[in-house]
Structure 1
Amino acid sequence: MTEDGRTAGFMALPGRTEDRREVFAGALGDVVRVLGLEVAAEPESADGPTWVHRARAALREVWRDGAVLSDEAFDALLRAAVHDPDPSFNRQFVEPALNAFGHRRVQAALLAYLRTGTDPERAGAARAWYWSALSLRMPLVRAEHPAAADDGADVVKEWYAAALREFVHNEHVDVRRCVLPLLPLRKSSYPPELHDLVEEAVAIARSHPDEYIRHRVEHQVGD
């Protein structure tokens, strides 16, 4: 994502170091329950779709046909987005939340996960943040209690400052892998009091034992 909050392409993240599929299945189950969907818990087979795949397919139909989302649905969607192990499929939860509740509310929720969540949740919030500036293209998905529109520009600035601090001070490898691609590494992107942290972040990334982090920082610094 660029400094002004627009999405930009970058190389694929490596797989997570922890298996969180069971946690995600529970979060996805909450989304299915809140939306009142019926996804049959059929016996799994090696050559057939899993329950997760069937649930994802059911959600695609909901977003296509339209839905009115409650506050409970917002919480469930954001939790599923944060715990989704696939950094592409998590868009399925972020985008409808954006359309129904707006950029500010979604980005503020992801920022809260980054600041106070567990390490897997912090990493997941960074993965979900990648989609948080998408244009609103789901006119049939709306909130039960709409709020005034707000672009959330101040939340974006808060995210970058919090993400910079997180990258420097949190040694969890998944957190650093997920935060780094979205992190501006120019001092001009931050207030003066954070300039030393920018230098420290670059130094940490360049000497990090993880190959992805070392490769990624050179790509960003070279841009």
Structure 2
Amino acid sequence: MEACLADVVRSLGLRIAPASEDRAHWTWAHHARAALREACRRGMTVSEESFGPLLRAAVHDPDPSFNRQFVEPALNAFGYARVRGALLGYLRTGTAQERAGAARAWYWTALPLRMPLVRAENPGTGGAPEPAGAPEPGGAPEPGGRSALVAEWNEAALRTFVSDEDVHVRRCVLPILPLDPSAYPAELHDLVDRAVALARSHPDAYIRHRVEIQVRH
């Protein structure tokens, strides 16, 4: 993760103050994260080069809350479609660690754009933003409204959950995985049933517990 942070710092040109005596316990990573938060607050122009580092950091951050620090500026600078498309790529072709990280990062792609001072160096690189009220991550697409990328993600996440035996991947994918067959085309309904059955009989207690919450709602 520190290498990913270093790439973010370099690509964004962040300045990290050295640790003072009363903050000697802070690590370099804490300083890097603080510098990014401050840059977003004050405003910054994000270069094209920074897109990859921001997404890699989001995917490789093990904390499902801290990864928001990288997703949110990427969304504001490059748009929903580009960020979601990159995360979908990680889910489809990444390592087990990257698939799990992409699922954790996807959760934050429903955020509204709240960083008006964070802009891309080349406007338009992310395509048109989502309309007001961006779709919930993993939610069922509404007729004529929601992004096709959400439907693509749902299908890829469903297939990943069923086929990938890595328990960490399954733990990260399941919470944002719709388990209502109506969220999918008819040809995927059997796969939804298979995913539910797999989760209910899984040896991992969290997965067994989580599926019941999602099926109930």
TM-score range (shorter-chain normalised) is: 0.7 to 0.9
- State which of 93, 98, 107 in structure 2 corresponds to 1:130: 107
Q: Quick check: 2:19–2:26 contact (8 Å CA) kept in 1? A: no
Give 1:21's aligned residue.
none
Residue 137 of structure 1, CA deviation = 0.5
1:46 to 1:136, Cα distance in 2 relative to 1, 3 A:
closer
SS at match of 2:109: coil
Give 1:220's aligned residue.
214
Give 1:7's aligned residue.
none
- State which of 33, 37, 55 in structure 2 corresponds to 1:78: 55
Give 1:149's aligned residue.
128
| CA distance in 2 between partners of 1:221 and 1:53 (Å) | 39
1:56 to 1:46, Cα distance in 2 relative to 1, 3 A:
closer
Would you say how many aligned residue pairs link Structure 1 and Structure 2?
Answer: 200
- Structure 1: 4+ residue segments shifted above 4 A: 40-43
Give 2:39's aligned residue.
62
Residue 149 of structure 1, CA deviation = 1.4
Give 2:133's aligned residue.
none
Query: CA offsets, 1:100-156, max 9 Å, x none?
Result: 110000000000000010010000000000000110010000001111414270111
User: TM-score normalized by structure 1?
Assistant: 0.86
Give 2:198's aligned residue.
204
| CA distance in 1 between partners of 2:62 and 2:47 (Å) | 25
1:163 to 1:139, Cα distance in 2 relative to 1, 3 A:
same
Query: CA offsets, 1:78-116, max 9 Å, x none?
Result: 000000010001000000000011000000000000001
Gap regions ≥5 residues in structure 1: 1-23
Sequence identity, in percent?
67
- State which of 77, 91, 98 in structure 2 corresponds to 1:121: 98
Give 1:180's aligned residue.
174
1:46 to 1:138, Cα distance in 2 relative to 1, 3 A:
closer
Q: Which has the higher contact order (CA 8 A, sep 6+)?
A: 1
Kindly indicate whether residue 8 of structure 2 is the aligned counterpart of residue 31 of structure 1.
yes
Letter in 2 for 1:144: E
Q: Quick check: 1:40–1:51 contact (8 Å CA) kept in 2? A: no
Letter in 2 for 1:108: G
Say what the alpha-carbon RMSD is for the aligned residues: 1.9
Residue 46 of structure 1, CA deviation = 10
Letter in 2 for 1:179: V
| CA distance in 2 between partners of 1:179 and 1:104 (Å) | 20
SS at match of 1:142: strand
Give 1:161's aligned residue.
155
47-56 vs 99-108, greater mean Cα deviation:
47-56
| CA distance in 1 between partners of 2:179 and 2:40 (Å) | 36
SS at match of 2:45: strand
SS at match of 2:25: coil
| CA distance in 1 between partners of 2:175 and 2:151 (Å) | 16
User: TM-score normalized by structure 2?
Assistant: 0.88
